[in-house]
Structure 1
Amino acid sequence: MEAVINLPARTSCHRLGIDSNITKRLAIRFPSRRTKCSLYSDKIEIKRHTINNNVLGKYWGRNRILAMASKRDPNSQQNSLSSAETVDEYFTSINGKDLRQLDECISEDACFEDYAFTKPFQGKKEVMRFLQQLTECMGRNVKFRVKHIYEGDDLTAAANWHMEWKEKQIPFTRGCTFFKLTKLGKNLTIWRTEVLIESPIKPGSIVLTLLKNVTSTFDNFPKLAEWFLRSPHVILTWILKVYNIFIACWLHPILEGYIKLWSFFVRLLSSAITLVIFISKTFFK
Protein backbone atom coordinates (compact mmCIF):
# COMPACT_ATOMS: atom_id res chain seq x y z
CA MET A 1 0.00 0.00 0.00
CA GLU A 2 1.42 3.35 -1.00
CA ALA A 3 1.34 6.27 1.44
CA VAL A 4 1.09 9.81 0.06
CA ILE A 5 1.80 12.93 2.08
CA ASN A 6 0.90 16.28 0.49
CA LEU A 7 2.64 19.24 2.04
CA PRO A 8 1.42 22.59 0.70
CA ALA A 9 4.25 25.04 1.00
CA ARG A 10 5.23 28.50 -0.19
CA THR A 11 8.91 28.71 -0.87
CA SER A 12 10.66 32.06 -1.07
CA CYS A 13 14.09 31.83 -2.64
CA HIS A 14 16.43 34.79 -2.22
CA ARG A 15 19.69 34.62 -4.06
CA LEU A 16 21.86 37.41 -5.37
CA GLY A 17 19.73 39.32 -7.80
CA ILE A 18 16.85 36.96 -7.32
CA ASP A 19 13.67 37.40 -5.34
CA SER A 20 11.62 34.40 -6.40
CA ASN A 21 8.18 33.50 -5.02
CA ILE A 22 7.30 29.96 -5.94
CA THR A 23 4.02 28.39 -4.83
CA LYS A 24 3.93 24.67 -5.22
CA ARG A 25 2.83 21.45 -3.62
CA LEU A 26 5.28 18.88 -2.41
CA ALA A 27 4.17 15.29 -2.86
CA ILE A 28 6.25 12.71 -1.02
CA ARG A 29 5.62 9.06 -1.79
CA PHE A 30 6.85 6.10 0.17
CA PRO A 31 7.21 2.57 -1.21
CA SER A 32 4.76 0.00 0.06
CA ARG A 33 5.59 -1.31 3.51
CA ARG A 34 3.89 -3.61 5.94
CA THR A 35 4.77 -1.38 8.85
CA LYS A 36 2.48 1.44 9.90
CA CYS A 37 3.34 4.85 8.42
CA SER A 38 3.74 7.56 11.00
CA LEU A 39 4.07 11.26 10.37
CA TYR A 40 6.38 11.43 13.36
CA SER A 41 8.70 8.67 12.21
CA ASP A 42 12.29 9.43 11.31
CA LYS A 43 11.64 8.81 7.60
CA ILE A 44 10.84 12.47 6.91
CA GLU A 45 12.62 15.40 8.48
CA ILE A 46 11.24 18.89 7.90
CA LYS A 47 13.61 21.70 8.73
CA ARG A 48 12.99 25.42 8.61
CA HIS A 49 16.04 27.60 8.26
CA THR A 50 16.45 31.33 8.58
CA ILE A 51 19.77 32.24 7.01
CA ASN A 52 21.13 35.75 6.75
CA ASN A 53 24.58 35.63 5.19
CA ASN A 54 26.41 36.74 2.14
CA VAL A 55 28.78 34.06 0.89
CA LEU A 56 30.30 34.06 -2.58
CA GLY A 57 27.78 36.55 -3.86
CA LYS A 58 24.68 34.67 -2.62
CA TYR A 59 22.35 35.82 0.13
CA TRP A 60 19.24 34.35 1.71
CA GLY A 61 16.79 36.61 3.52
CA ARG A 62 13.56 34.75 4.33
CA ASN A 63 12.50 31.47 5.84
CA ARG A 64 13.25 28.57 3.52
CA ILE A 65 11.50 25.24 3.91
CA LEU A 66 13.59 22.20 3.17
CA ALA A 67 11.94 18.80 2.90
CA MET A 68 14.46 16.01 3.15
CA ALA A 69 14.12 12.25 3.43
CA SER A 70 16.54 10.88 6.00
CA LYS A 71 17.72 7.31 5.87
CA ARG A 72 16.77 7.16 2.18
CA ASP A 73 16.90 3.87 0.38
CA PRO A 74 20.19 3.90 -1.59
CA ASN A 75 18.46 2.27 -4.55
CA SER A 76 15.78 4.98 -4.81
CA GLN A 77 16.16 7.91 -7.20
CA GLN A 78 16.86 11.38 -5.85
CA ASN A 79 14.32 14.05 -6.60
CA SER A 80 15.46 16.47 -9.31
CA LEU A 81 14.84 20.20 -9.32
CA SER A 82 11.41 21.43 -10.36
CA SER A 83 10.87 23.71 -13.35
CA ALA A 84 10.78 26.81 -11.18
CA GLU A 85 13.91 25.78 -9.26
CA THR A 86 15.77 25.13 -12.53
CA VAL A 87 14.85 28.62 -13.75
CA ASP A 88 15.96 30.04 -10.40
CA GLU A 89 19.31 28.25 -10.80
CA TYR A 90 19.63 29.60 -14.36
CA PHE A 91 19.39 33.24 -13.26
CA THR A 92 21.65 32.61 -10.26
CA SER A 93 24.32 31.15 -12.55
CA ILE A 94 24.15 34.22 -14.79
CA ASN A 95 24.48 36.58 -11.82
CA GLY A 96 27.40 34.56 -10.46
CA LYS A 97 28.96 34.17 -13.93
CA ASP A 98 29.10 30.44 -13.29
CA LEU A 99 29.32 29.23 -16.88
CA ARG A 100 29.87 25.61 -15.85
CA GLN A 101 26.64 25.49 -13.87
CA LEU A 102 24.89 27.46 -16.62
CA ASP A 103 26.03 24.89 -19.18
CA GLU A 104 24.30 22.17 -17.17
CA CYS A 105 21.02 24.11 -17.27
CA ILE A 106 20.91 24.29 -21.09
CA SER A 107 19.70 21.50 -23.38
CA GLU A 108 21.84 20.36 -26.32
CA ASP A 109 19.13 21.35 -28.84
CA ALA A 110 18.16 24.57 -27.04
CA CYS A 111 16.55 27.48 -28.82
CA PHE A 112 16.73 30.96 -27.27
CA GLU A 113 14.52 33.57 -28.90
CA ASP A 114 15.15 37.10 -27.71
CA TYR A 115 12.83 39.51 -29.53
CA ALA A 116 15.52 42.20 -29.36
CA PHE A 117 17.42 40.14 -31.97
CA THR A 118 16.34 39.35 -35.52
CA LYS A 119 17.11 35.62 -35.28
CA PRO A 120 16.92 33.09 -32.45
CA PHE A 121 20.01 31.38 -31.05
CA GLN A 122 19.95 27.74 -32.13
CA GLY A 123 21.82 24.94 -30.37
CA LYS A 124 23.68 24.81 -27.07
CA LYS A 125 26.95 26.13 -28.51
CA GLU A 126 25.35 29.28 -29.94
CA VAL A 127 23.24 29.83 -26.81
CA MET A 128 26.23 29.49 -24.49
CA ARG A 129 28.22 31.93 -26.63
CA PHE A 130 25.43 34.47 -26.26
CA LEU A 131 25.13 33.90 -22.49
CA GLN A 132 28.90 34.26 -22.08
CA GLN A 133 28.78 37.60 -23.91
CA LEU A 134 25.85 38.62 -21.71
CA THR A 135 27.71 37.87 -18.47
CA GLU A 136 30.76 39.78 -19.73
CA CYS A 137 28.68 42.83 -20.69
CA MET A 138 26.98 42.83 -17.28
CA GLY A 139 30.28 43.59 -15.57
CA ARG A 140 30.79 43.11 -11.85
CA ASN A 141 27.84 45.06 -10.45
CA VAL A 142 24.88 44.43 -12.78
CA LYS A 143 22.57 41.60 -11.70
CA PHE A 144 19.20 40.16 -12.66
CA ARG A 145 16.57 40.72 -10.00
CA VAL A 146 13.84 38.13 -10.51
CA LYS A 147 10.58 39.27 -8.92
CA HIS A 148 8.47 36.16 -9.48
CA ILE A 149 8.80 32.70 -11.01
CA TYR A 150 5.58 31.03 -12.14
CA GLU A 151 5.52 27.27 -12.71
CA GLY A 152 3.05 25.86 -15.25
CA ASP A 153 2.07 22.46 -16.59
CA ASP A 154 4.07 20.33 -19.04
CA LEU A 155 7.48 21.53 -17.78
CA THR A 156 6.85 25.22 -18.42
CA ALA A 157 7.73 28.27 -16.36
CA ALA A 158 7.81 32.05 -16.62
CA ALA A 159 9.78 34.75 -14.81
CA ASN A 160 9.48 38.53 -14.71
CA TRP A 161 12.61 40.45 -13.85
CA HIS A 162 14.60 43.65 -14.12
CA MET A 163 18.30 44.48 -13.95
CA GLU A 164 20.04 46.30 -11.12
CA TRP A 165 23.37 48.01 -10.61
CA LYS A 166 24.47 47.70 -6.98
CA GLU A 167 20.85 46.92 -6.00
CA LYS A 168 19.52 50.00 -7.82
CA GLN A 169 17.10 49.35 -10.68
CA ILE A 170 18.31 50.30 -14.15
CA PRO A 171 15.63 52.07 -16.26
CA PHE A 172 14.11 50.26 -19.23
CA THR A 173 15.43 46.83 -18.20
CA ARG A 174 12.18 45.16 -17.16
CA GLY A 175 11.49 41.92 -18.95
CA CYS A 176 9.70 38.60 -18.95
CA THR A 177 11.07 35.22 -20.00
CA PHE A 178 9.02 32.13 -20.86
CA PHE A 179 10.69 28.74 -20.44
CA LYS A 180 10.01 25.30 -21.86
CA LEU A 181 12.05 22.58 -20.20
CA THR A 182 12.87 18.98 -21.06
CA LYS A 183 14.05 16.00 -19.04
CA LEU A 184 17.66 14.86 -19.29
CA GLY A 185 17.89 11.71 -17.19
CA LYS A 186 16.85 12.70 -13.68
CA ASN A 187 17.35 16.42 -14.25
CA LEU A 188 15.52 19.18 -16.10
CA THR A 189 17.23 21.36 -18.69
CA ILE A 190 16.04 24.50 -20.46
CA TRP A 191 15.01 23.66 -24.01
CA ARG A 192 13.37 26.85 -25.28
CA THR A 193 13.03 30.43 -24.09
CA GLU A 194 11.20 33.50 -25.33
CA VAL A 195 12.40 36.84 -23.95
CA LEU A 196 10.37 40.07 -23.96
CA ILE A 197 12.18 43.25 -22.89
CA GLU A 198 10.75 46.68 -22.10
CA SER A 199 11.17 49.14 -24.93
CA PRO A 200 12.78 52.51 -24.10
CA ILE A 201 10.43 54.10 -26.67
CA LYS A 202 6.95 54.73 -25.25
CA PRO A 203 4.70 55.59 -28.21
CA GLY A 204 1.51 55.32 -26.14
CA SER A 205 -1.70 55.81 -28.14
CA ILE A 206 0.27 56.00 -31.38
CA VAL A 207 0.45 52.19 -31.26
CA LEU A 208 -3.35 51.94 -31.32
CA THR A 209 -3.54 54.35 -34.26
CA LEU A 210 -0.89 52.39 -36.13
CA LEU A 211 -2.65 49.11 -35.37
CA LYS A 212 -5.93 50.52 -36.67
CA ASN A 213 -4.28 51.64 -39.93
CA VAL A 214 -2.54 48.30 -40.43
CA THR A 215 -5.68 46.24 -39.81
CA SER A 216 -7.69 48.48 -42.17
CA THR A 217 -5.06 47.97 -44.87
CA PHE A 218 -5.13 44.21 -44.31
CA ASP A 219 -8.93 44.16 -44.56
CA ASN A 220 -8.96 46.24 -47.76
CA PHE A 221 -6.15 44.27 -49.42
CA PRO A 222 -6.41 40.69 -48.11
CA LYS A 223 -4.15 39.17 -50.80
CA LEU A 224 -1.40 41.66 -50.02
CA ALA A 225 -1.85 40.95 -46.32
CA GLU A 226 -1.54 37.18 -46.86
CA TRP A 227 1.62 37.65 -48.92
CA PHE A 228 3.16 39.91 -46.29
CA LEU A 229 2.31 37.58 -43.39
CA ARG A 230 3.78 34.60 -45.24
CA SER A 231 7.12 36.33 -45.77
CA PRO A 232 7.54 39.48 -43.65
CA HIS A 233 11.34 39.15 -43.82
CA VAL A 234 11.18 40.07 -47.55
CA ILE A 235 9.87 43.54 -46.69
CA LEU A 236 12.47 43.99 -43.95
CA THR A 237 15.27 42.93 -46.31
CA TRP A 238 14.05 45.40 -48.93
CA ILE A 239 13.91 48.22 -46.37
CA LEU A 240 17.46 47.45 -45.24
CA LYS A 241 18.71 47.54 -48.83
CA VAL A 242 17.06 50.93 -49.42
CA TYR A 243 18.59 52.21 -46.17
CA ASN A 244 22.10 51.02 -47.08
CA ILE A 245 21.93 52.51 -50.59
CA PHE A 246 20.25 55.87 -50.04
CA ILE A 247 20.49 56.73 -46.31
CA ALA A 248 23.51 55.06 -44.72
CA CYS A 249 26.00 56.81 -47.03
CA TRP A 250 25.21 60.26 -45.55
CA LEU A 251 23.68 59.37 -42.17
CA HIS A 252 26.70 57.49 -40.83
CA PRO A 253 29.15 60.42 -41.29
CA ILE A 254 26.69 62.76 -39.54
CA LEU A 255 26.33 60.39 -36.57
CA GLU A 256 30.09 59.85 -36.43
CA GLY A 257 30.71 63.60 -36.37
CA TYR A 258 28.02 64.06 -33.72
CA ILE A 259 29.65 61.46 -31.50
CA LYS A 260 33.11 63.00 -31.95
CA LEU A 261 31.72 66.46 -31.09
CA TRP A 262 30.17 65.23 -27.85
CA SER A 263 33.38 63.36 -26.99
CA PHE A 264 35.31 66.61 -27.40
CA PHE A 265 32.91 68.49 -25.09
CA VAL A 266 33.17 65.72 -22.48
CA ARG A 267 36.98 65.86 -22.52
CA LEU A 268 36.87 69.66 -22.34
CA LEU A 269 34.51 69.59 -19.36
CA SER A 270 36.65 66.97 -17.63
CA SER A 271 39.76 69.11 -18.09
CA ALA A 272 37.96 72.16 -16.69
CA ILE A 273 36.80 70.25 -13.61
CA THR A 274 40.32 68.90 -13.05
CA LEU A 275 41.74 72.43 -13.29
CA VAL A 276 39.19 73.79 -10.79
CA ILE A 277 40.01 71.02 -8.32
CA PHE A 278 43.75 71.68 -8.69
CA ILE A 279 43.30 75.42 -8.09
CA SER A 280 41.06 74.83 -5.06
CA LYS A 281 43.59 72.47 -3.50
CA THR A 282 46.47 74.89 -4.18
CA PHE A 283 44.98 78.15 -2.88
CA PHE A 284 42.41 76.93 -0.33
CA LYS A 285 44.35 74.50 1.81
Structure 2
Amino acid sequence: MSHVHSNCCLTFTARITSKPRNHNQHHNHHLLHLSLFPPNSSTVSRKRGITFRASLDNPLPPISLDQTNPFQLIPASDIVRNFYGGINRHDLASVEPLIAPNCVYEDLVFPSPFVGRKSILEFFGKFIDYVSTDLQFVIDAISEEDSTTVGVTWHLEWKGRPFPFSKGCSFYRLGIKNGIRQIIYARDSVEPAIKPGESALIAIRGVTWLLQRFPKLAEWI
Protein backbone atom coordinates (compact mmCIF):
# COMPACT_ATOMS: atom_id res chain seq x y z
CA MET A 1 0.00 0.00 0.00
CA SER A 2 1.43 3.33 -0.99
CA HIS A 3 1.06 6.34 1.24
CA VAL A 4 0.64 9.85 -0.11
CA HIS A 5 1.66 13.10 1.48
CA SER A 6 0.00 16.46 1.13
CA ASN A 7 0.68 20.10 0.98
CA CYS A 8 -1.70 22.41 2.79
CA CYS A 9 -2.93 25.85 1.81
CA LEU A 10 -3.83 28.27 4.58
CA THR A 11 -5.05 31.83 4.20
CA PHE A 12 -5.31 34.25 7.09
CA THR A 13 -7.05 37.62 6.93
CA ALA A 14 -6.48 40.33 9.52
CA ARG A 15 -8.13 43.76 9.76
CA ILE A 16 -5.87 46.60 10.86
CA THR A 17 -7.60 49.78 12.06
CA SER A 18 -5.78 53.09 12.42
CA LYS A 19 -7.18 55.70 14.82
CA PRO A 20 -8.35 59.03 13.30
CA ARG A 21 -6.30 62.10 14.10
CA ASN A 22 -9.40 64.21 14.56
CA HIS A 23 -13.18 63.81 14.63
CA ASN A 24 -13.53 64.70 10.95
CA GLN A 25 -11.39 61.82 9.86
CA HIS A 26 -12.71 58.30 9.43
CA HIS A 27 -11.20 55.10 10.61
CA ASN A 28 -8.84 53.63 8.08
CA HIS A 29 -9.21 49.91 7.62
CA HIS A 30 -6.62 47.80 5.92
CA LEU A 31 -6.94 44.12 5.13
CA LEU A 32 -3.79 42.09 5.50
CA HIS A 33 -3.81 38.75 3.72
CA LEU A 34 -1.23 36.19 4.70
CA SER A 35 -1.13 33.14 2.46
CA LEU A 36 0.93 29.98 2.69
CA PHE A 37 1.03 28.07 -0.57
CA PRO A 38 3.12 24.94 -1.18
CA PRO A 39 5.16 24.49 -4.36
CA ASN A 40 3.23 23.09 -7.34
CA SER A 41 -0.14 23.74 -5.71
CA SER A 42 -3.03 25.59 -7.29
CA THR A 43 -5.60 27.53 -5.31
CA VAL A 44 -8.00 30.07 -6.80
CA SER A 45 -9.76 32.50 -4.47
CA ARG A 46 -13.35 33.29 -5.40
CA LYS A 47 -15.91 35.75 -4.06
CA ARG A 48 -18.08 32.96 -2.68
CA GLY A 49 -15.35 30.56 -1.62
CA ILE A 50 -12.12 28.87 -2.62
CA THR A 51 -11.53 26.42 -5.41
CA PHE A 52 -8.98 23.79 -4.47
CA ARG A 53 -7.31 21.72 -7.17
CA ALA A 54 -5.70 18.53 -5.96
CA SER A 55 -3.74 16.12 -8.09
CA LEU A 56 -1.62 13.05 -7.58
CA ASP A 57 1.36 15.38 -7.17
CA ASN A 58 -0.57 17.38 -4.57
CA PRO A 59 -2.78 14.82 -2.79
CA LEU A 60 -5.11 15.39 0.15
CA PRO A 61 -3.96 15.26 3.77
CA PRO A 62 -5.01 13.57 6.94
CA ILE A 63 -5.07 16.73 9.14
CA SER A 64 -5.01 16.70 12.92
CA LEU A 65 -5.09 19.97 14.83
CA ASP A 66 -5.75 18.57 18.28
CA GLN A 67 -4.61 15.06 19.11
CA THR A 68 -7.04 14.79 22.04
CA ASN A 69 -10.00 15.75 19.88
CA PRO A 70 -8.66 15.67 16.31
CA PHE A 71 -11.77 16.65 14.34
CA GLN A 72 -13.28 19.36 16.56
CA LEU A 73 -11.61 22.38 14.99
CA ILE A 74 -11.12 21.16 11.43
CA PRO A 75 -13.24 23.00 8.83
CA ALA A 76 -16.00 21.00 7.18
CA SER A 77 -14.25 21.15 3.80
CA ASP A 78 -11.12 19.60 5.30
CA ILE A 79 -13.19 16.79 6.81
CA VAL A 80 -14.37 16.03 3.27
CA ARG A 81 -10.82 16.29 1.91
CA ASN A 82 -9.69 13.83 4.55
CA PHE A 83 -12.51 11.51 3.52
CA TYR A 84 -11.28 11.40 -0.09
CA GLY A 85 -7.67 11.18 1.05
CA GLY A 86 -8.42 8.11 3.19
CA ILE A 87 -10.23 6.39 0.31
CA ASN A 88 -7.30 7.17 -2.02
CA ARG A 89 -4.87 5.60 0.45
CA HIS A 90 -7.22 2.64 1.09
CA ASP A 91 -7.05 3.65 4.74
CA LEU A 92 -10.53 3.01 6.13
CA ALA A 93 -9.24 3.42 9.68
CA SER A 94 -8.75 7.14 9.00
CA VAL A 95 -12.14 7.39 7.27
CA GLU A 96 -14.15 5.77 10.06
CA PRO A 97 -14.08 8.66 12.59
CA LEU A 98 -15.13 11.12 9.87
CA ILE A 99 -18.50 9.35 9.45
CA ALA A 100 -21.29 9.69 12.01
CA PRO A 101 -22.67 6.39 13.37
CA ASN A 102 -26.12 7.08 11.84
CA CYS A 103 -24.85 8.64 8.59
CA VAL A 104 -26.90 8.18 5.40
CA TYR A 105 -24.87 7.80 2.21
CA GLU A 106 -26.65 7.95 -1.16
CA ASP A 107 -24.76 6.79 -4.23
CA LEU A 108 -27.21 7.32 -7.07
CA VAL A 109 -25.75 4.35 -8.94
CA PHE A 110 -27.35 2.11 -6.31
CA PRO A 111 -31.11 1.67 -5.78
CA SER A 112 -31.07 2.43 -2.06
CA PRO A 113 -28.83 4.43 0.31
CA PHE A 114 -26.28 2.97 2.70
CA VAL A 115 -27.41 3.70 6.25
CA GLY A 116 -25.04 3.72 9.20
CA ARG A 117 -21.27 3.92 9.49
CA LYS A 118 -20.82 0.14 9.36
CA SER A 119 -22.76 -0.21 6.11
CA ILE A 120 -20.89 2.71 4.51
CA LEU A 121 -17.48 1.34 5.49
CA GLU A 122 -18.44 -2.08 4.13
CA PHE A 123 -19.33 -0.45 0.81
CA PHE A 124 -16.03 1.40 0.58
CA GLY A 125 -14.23 -1.75 1.73
CA LYS A 126 -15.61 -3.54 -1.34
CA PHE A 127 -14.69 -0.54 -3.50
CA ILE A 128 -11.02 -0.55 -2.49
CA ASP A 129 -10.91 -4.35 -2.86
CA TYR A 130 -11.86 -3.92 -6.53
CA VAL A 131 -9.43 -1.11 -7.39
CA SER A 132 -5.78 -0.34 -6.76
CA THR A 133 -4.30 2.84 -5.33
CA ASP A 134 -3.42 3.80 -8.91
CA LEU A 135 -7.05 4.90 -9.25
CA GLN A 136 -7.44 8.15 -7.34
CA PHE A 137 -10.20 10.64 -6.59
CA VAL A 138 -9.10 14.13 -7.65
CA ILE A 139 -11.02 17.14 -6.31
CA ASP A 140 -11.65 19.76 -8.98
CA ALA A 141 -13.52 22.26 -6.77
CA ILE A 142 -14.82 22.31 -3.21
CA SER A 143 -16.91 24.84 -1.29
CA GLU A 144 -15.21 26.39 1.71
CA GLU A 145 -17.44 28.91 3.47
CA ASP A 146 -20.15 26.77 5.08
CA SER A 147 -19.36 24.75 8.22
CA THR A 148 -22.39 22.46 7.84
CA THR A 149 -22.60 21.67 4.11
CA VAL A 150 -19.93 21.03 1.49
CA GLY A 151 -20.23 20.67 -2.28
CA VAL A 152 -17.53 18.92 -4.32
CA THR A 153 -16.85 18.29 -7.99
CA TRP A 154 -14.34 15.55 -8.72
CA HIS A 155 -13.06 13.00 -11.22
CA LEU A 156 -11.01 9.82 -11.15
CA GLU A 157 -7.49 9.47 -12.50
CA TRP A 158 -5.51 6.33 -13.29
CA LYS A 159 -1.80 6.96 -12.73
CA GLY A 160 -2.34 10.66 -13.33
CA ARG A 161 -4.52 10.26 -16.43
CA PRO A 162 -8.27 10.99 -16.47
CA PHE A 163 -10.35 7.85 -16.13
CA PRO A 164 -13.29 7.53 -18.58
CA PHE A 165 -16.82 8.27 -17.38
CA SER A 166 -15.62 9.20 -13.92
CA LYS A 167 -16.70 12.81 -13.39
CA GLY A 168 -18.94 13.35 -10.41
CA CYS A 169 -20.33 15.81 -7.92
CA SER A 170 -21.09 15.18 -4.27
CA PHE A 171 -22.92 16.90 -1.45
CA TYR A 172 -22.08 16.49 2.23
CA ARG A 173 -23.93 17.60 5.33
CA LEU A 174 -21.94 17.69 8.56
CA GLY A 175 -22.92 17.85 12.20
CA ILE A 176 -21.18 18.18 15.53
CA LYS A 177 -21.84 15.70 18.31
CA ASN A 178 -19.83 15.47 21.52
CA GLY A 179 -17.52 18.16 20.15
CA ILE A 180 -16.64 16.19 17.00
CA ARG A 181 -17.55 17.25 13.45
CA GLN A 182 -18.63 14.32 11.27
CA ILE A 183 -20.40 13.59 7.99
CA ILE A 184 -24.08 12.86 8.68
CA TYR A 185 -25.35 12.76 5.09
CA ALA A 186 -23.79 12.38 1.65
CA ARG A 187 -24.99 12.06 -1.93
CA ASP A 188 -22.92 11.13 -4.98
CA SER A 189 -23.95 11.77 -8.58
CA VAL A 190 -21.64 10.15 -11.13
CA GLU A 191 -21.28 10.70 -14.87
CA PRO A 192 -23.25 8.04 -16.78
CA ALA A 193 -21.47 5.80 -19.26
CA ILE A 194 -24.41 6.13 -21.66
CA LYS A 195 -25.38 9.75 -22.35
CA PRO A 196 -28.86 10.09 -23.84
CA GLY A 197 -28.53 13.80 -24.68
CA GLU A 198 -31.74 15.44 -25.91
CA SER A 199 -33.55 12.11 -25.84
CA ALA A 200 -33.61 12.49 -22.04
CA LEU A 201 -35.74 15.63 -22.49
CA ILE A 202 -38.08 13.72 -24.77
CA ALA A 203 -38.40 10.97 -22.17
CA ILE A 204 -39.15 13.52 -19.41
CA ARG A 205 -41.78 15.17 -21.61
CA GLY A 206 -43.37 11.78 -22.27
CA VAL A 207 -43.52 10.90 -18.58
CA THR A 208 -45.01 14.27 -17.60
CA TRP A 209 -47.63 13.90 -20.37
CA LEU A 210 -48.63 10.51 -18.98
CA LEU A 211 -48.85 11.88 -15.43
CA GLN A 212 -51.06 14.73 -16.60
CA ARG A 213 -53.38 12.39 -18.47
CA PHE A 214 -53.39 9.67 -15.81
CA PRO A 215 -52.74 11.31 -12.40
CA LYS A 216 -53.06 8.01 -10.53
CA LEU A 217 -49.82 6.85 -12.16
CA ALA A 218 -48.01 9.25 -9.80
CA GLU A 219 -48.69 6.78 -6.99
CA TRP A 220 -46.26 4.38 -8.67
CA ILE A 221 -43.38 6.84 -8.76
TM-score (norm 1): 0.55
**Counterparts of 1:153 and 1:117 in 2: how far apart (Å)?**
28
Cα-to-partner distance string for 1:61-106 (whole Å, 9 max, x where unaligned): 9xxxxxx9xxxxxxxxx96111111101110111111111101111
Q: Is the 8 A contact 2:140 2:154 kept in 1?
A: yes
SS at match of 1:146: strand
- Which of these residues, 47, 50, 53, is aligned with residue 38 of structure 2? 50
% identical aligned pairs: 26
Matched residues in 1 for 2:37 and 2:206: separation?
Answer: 58
Shift in Å at residue 20 of structure 1? 10
Query: What is the aligned counterpart of 1:149 among 142, 149, 154?
Result: 142
Q: CA deviation at 1:16?
A: 5.8
The aligned counterpart of 2:200 is 207
**1:18/1:92 contact within 8 Å kept:** no
Give the drift of 1:51.
Answer: 4.8
Cα distance, 1:203 vs structure 2: 1.0
Q: Which of the pair is proportionally richer in helix?
A: 1
Query: For residues 169 and 149 of structure 1, do their structure 2 counterparts lie closer, same or farther at Cα, with a shift above 3 Å needed?
Result: same
Give 5+ residue unaligned stretches, structure 2.
Answer: 16-33, 41-55, 60-64, 66-70
Indicate how the Cα distance of structure 1 residues 222 and 212 shifts in structure 2: closer, same or farther if over 3 A, else same.
Answer: same
Q: Taking CA–CA contacts closer than 8 Å with sequence separation of 6 or more, which of the two structures ends up with the larger relative contact order?
A: 2
Render the CA deviation track for 1:152-181: whole Å, top value 9, x for unaligned: 646000111111100000110111110011
| TM score, norm. by length of structure 2 | 0.69
From 150, 168, 181, the counterpart of 1:188: 181
Residue 103 of structure 1 is matched in structure 2 by 96
Does the alignment pair 1:219 with 2:212? yes
CA contact (8 A) 1:16 1:59 kept: no
Unaligned runs of at least 5 residues, structure 1: 1-14, 29-45, 53-57, 62-67, 69-77, 230-285
Q: How many residues align?
A: 179
Partner Cα separation in structure 1 for residue 86 and residue 14 of structure 2: 27
Residue 188 of structure 1 aligns to a residue in which SS? strand
